[in-house]
Amino acid sequence: MHIAPTPVIVVASQNPVKVDATRRGFAKMFPQIAFQVQSVAAASGVRQQPLSDAETLQGAVNRTQHAAQLVPRADYWVGIEGGVEERQGSMEAFAWIVVATPHLLGQSRTGTFHLPASVALLIRQGWELGPAVEVLYGRSQVKHTTGAVGVLTEGVIDRVQLYEHTVVLALVPYKHPQR
């Protein structure tokens, strides 16, 4: 009897939120498969705080490509990049998630939420979203726990949940590759 090897997913970040969201998203889309998940520190190649939709997507793509260079013998590479963008007088936050294999690419963007004016002001002054929320709301380790979305929704939606759904959506091309 031949036993198929366990598929390997490489997450282009060592942030536990991104790793957990990836694991959960793959498990929901492919519950019959036991994946091995690895994480690597992969550069985004964009600013620490991406300031546009295009820059944020590019950061996720770059992370995915860098992870593939670091761990070429994997089945999937996942890049996740959070960003902000000015729109109609306010600032919104979101993330892009890219899932790549040698032959297919899936990507999706999270839901968007508007940032309070005080947070947006700090970001315009050069702060990253996580540290801005930490200082204004008296929290710590926001990027590695609830995320800004968790603080601002007071726990209704946390960063893992926000990203998990987006991983699922980025996997749609893998669920239906021949269509």
Taking only the tens of pLDDT, the chain with its 179 residues reads: 666 689 999 999 999 999 999 999 999 999 999 999 999 999 999 999 999 999 999 999 999 999 999 999 999 999 999 999 999 999 999 999 999 999 999 999 999 999 999 999 999 999 999 999 999 999 999 999 999 999 999 999 999 999 999 999 999 999 987 76
> At CA 96, angle to CA 70 and CA 9, rounded to 5?
35
**CB count in 10 Å sphere of residue 134:** 18
Query: Pairing between strand 36-39 and 76-87?
Result: unpaired
Angle at 166 between CA 79 and CA 151, to 5 degrees: 95
What is the pLDDT, as a whole number, of residue 98?
98
- Whole-number pLDDT of residue 72: 96
Check the CA dihedral 41-11-20-123 and report its sign.
Answer: positive
Identify the pLDDT of residue 5. 84
Are 174 and 100 a contacting pair, CB within 8 Å? no
Can you tell me the distance from the alpha carbon of 44 to that of 25, in angstroms, rounded to the nearest whole number? 22
The model carries a pTM of: 0.94
